[in-house]
């Protein structure tokens, strides 16, 4: 929907305005499976991809926009055993 900030779009509306092309859909679905994206993370990637597409001057979200959005995701901090723990990572001496 024109004139609305991507950050303010509901998940349903985001699914409509950030609908990726076939290649983008395949990539985000593959990433969702291999990276274990939650619904919230999935929509965050879509929201970021829509913003990237806007900056690119593109009317649609393409595979390249999804790829760039995925590349911007931060990996969760991990402790020595490989399990993610933000608190342990923050508290660990440098």
Beta bridge mates, 61: 20
List Cα–Cα distances, 72 to 41, 48, 69, in angstroms: 12, 9, 5
Is 1 domain-assigned?
no
CATH code at position 59: 1.10.8.60
Instruction: Please give the angle made by the CA atoms of 34, 65 and 17, to the nearest 5 degrees.
Output: 100
2-40 pLDDT per residue, tens: 566 878 888 888 888 899 999 999 999 999 999 999 999
Number of domains in the chain: 1
49-63 pLDDT per residue, tens: 999 999 999 999 999
Task: Please give the Cα distance from 35 to 23 (Å, whole number).
Answer: 18
H runs (alpha helix) in the chain: 11-17, 22-35, 39-56, 63-71, 86-91
| Residue ranges making up the domain that contains 13 | 6-91
């Amino acid at each position: 929907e024109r004139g609305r900030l991507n950050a303010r779009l509901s998940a349903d509306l985001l699914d409509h305005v950030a609908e990726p092309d076939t290649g983008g859909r395949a990539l985000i679905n593959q990433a969702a499976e291999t990276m274990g994206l939650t619904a919230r993370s999935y929509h965050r990637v879509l929201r970021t991809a829509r913003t990237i597409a806007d900056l690119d001057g593109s009317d649609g979200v393409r595979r390249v926009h999804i790829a760039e959005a995925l590349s911007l995701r931060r990996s969760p901090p991990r402790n020595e055993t490989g399990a993610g723990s933000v608190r342990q990572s923050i508290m660990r001496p440098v």
